[in-house]
Chain A
């Protein structure tokens, strides 16, 4: 373990912290240019503030709402809903994926049903869910969990099914039994696929939350945006949209970092 880490570190030997290279800044050049043009178009009057407020206006609004605590409150509520939906939906998806991956009987019992449910777009359930749960937390949790469930279930199942059978035979020949075999061979072998499911799930998680909060909520970023629309406060609407984008990017970045750590044995991640 230590030697491999040393080697990996040696690979980064040329990299000096604190001095980002031109290479690492390149991906941000286009967004920066867009922001600049956008600001200029607003300042020179080409873009009316009633159509699209300027970045500087949005920034000021963000600062004001942060100071008042309003923004942090909405953000916290949305993040908590996202996390709860991810944990519940992802947890059940993972558990069922594992069960159906290792047990033929479990798969026969549940997989066909799940495949049928999968064909219903989960957002189509919104009217029903509102009837069931009202606009309480239950509705949001249910929808997000359902949305996150499928990518994680499907990719866990797929990952387990595709573990190299030769490794499994080796494990058996070396005396590994059910539980040990799962922990040492099957689960690590399925992890790359499970991460693919997690990343898909995160995308669906935000999407579902935006829709659910926009339609029915009394707090959260989506509610903040809808309320601002009623009062025609356009900068808050755009702020909410940008925050969703930032949160999505943040979740993806965190997952990628985790993935690189967990899958560091794979040549596919060795050069990052």
Chain B
């Protein structure tokens, strides 16, 4: 696939600022979640290291979003524990930020005001301007969301998620609704931001090549829990053939279930 050639996966990104938040550590211990009698996740053990980029793939309905909501603290495990930097996820507060499949911008607020929603404490126009520049929306600060394209809206949502320099970024199929070309640009942007800012990232996606393009580690989730785990070393470039092979292996694991 040409994707792997378009995306420079070993770009040496200049270290921009010393404000990096060190990434957060995520720990799931025997975590389970049932809805009524429907046990979606059971006895899940998973650890995400600070600064790691982890992707979760798997068939539709296998519990990827449920897992992400547990880590986000939007939902509580029925059993076991979910910890972010050693505290229960629902008390991790603004150490973590979430990006949804839809941009979910406030239509009545300017792009800059939408990004400011992500700030932890009082107004900070400089941080907002910097976050917008980082996603290449520096000239759109005064626009209404309705005046942006789909890709620009999702970039504004990314700026909102990162403006407070979170330790953990959670992404639930954030690029699923974008066209193929915009998706590639966004993947590159997310990977750049990750390497620059050093946050931990957990991405849920149904697109295996997207997971391969972005992640340090990919897990395949299924009814039986974690079905497979693949590490992709980022310290050297991979050939297209290598990446295609990795991708094929992951697809096999998904469909073997």
Contacts and interface: CB of A to CB of B under 8 A. Distances in A.
Given A1-B142, A267-B146, A174 B117 contact: yes
B141 A3 contact: yes
Contacts of A189: 108
A7 B100 CA distance: 29
Interface in B77-131: 93-94, 97-98, 100, 102, 104, 106-110, 117-118, 120
A1 B125 CA distance: 13
Interface stretch (A15-23, A27-35, A37-45, A165-173): A165-173
Given A3-B143, A175-B94, A184 B106 contact: yes
Contacts of B98: 173
B228 interface: no
Nearest to A168: B104
A119 interface: no
Interface string B15-56: 000000000000000000000000000000000000000000
Contacts of B74: 169, 172-173
A173 to B, nearest CB: 5
B72 interface: yes
B102 A265 contact: no
Given A4-B144, A174-B118, A184-B106, A166 B100 contact: yes
A50 interface: no
Nearest to B139: A3
Point out which of A4, A176, A267 has the most chain B C-beta atoms below 10 A from its C-beta: A4
Nearest to B72: A173
Contact of A175 (B93, B140, B147): B93
Q: Would you call the interface of chain B mostly helix, strand, loop, or mixed? A: loop
Given A4-B147, A173-B72, A266-B146, A167 B108 contact: no
A191 B108 CA distance: 10
Interface residues of A, number: 27
A5 B144 CA distance: 10
Contact of A167 (B104, B142, B147, B160): B104
Q: Sort chain B's interface into a size bin.
A: 20 to 34
A6 B142 CA distance: 9
A175 B98 CA distance: 11
Contacts of B142: 1-6
Nearest to A185: B106
Nearest to B110: A1
Interface string A239-272: 0000000000000000000000001011100100
The secondary-structure label for the interface of chain A is helix
B108 A188 contact: yes
A65 to B, nearest CB: 46
Contacts of B102: 166
A61 B134 CA distance: 69
Contacts of A171: 117
A108 B93 CA distance: 33
A175 B91 CA distance: 11
A7 B160 CA distance: 24
A263 B108 CA distance: 8
Contacts of A263: 108
A55 to B, nearest CB: 45
A166 B143 contact: no
Nearest to B117: A174
Given A3-B143, A173-B74, A167 B94 contact: no
A175 B108 CA distance: 19
A6 B140 CA distance: 12
A245 B141 CA distance: 44
Nearest to A263: B108
B155 to A, nearest CB: 16
Nearest to B146: A267
A170 B74 CA distance: 11
Given A4-B142, A265-B146, A170 B104 contact: yes
Given A173-B72, A173-B98, A266 B107 contact: yes
Interface string B134-178: 000000111111110000000000001000000000000000000
Nearest to A173: B98
8 contacts: A2-B142, A3-B140, A3-B142, A5-B142, A7-B147, A184-B106, A263-B108, A266-B146
Given A4-B143, A166-B102, A169-B74, 15 more contacts: A1-B142, A2-B142, A3-B143, A4-B147, A7-B143, A7-B147, A173-B74, A174-B94, A174-B118, A184-B109, A191-B108, A263-B108, A265-B108, A265-B145, A267-B146
Interface of A: 1-7, 166-167, 169-176, 184-185, 188-189, 191, 263, 265-267, 270
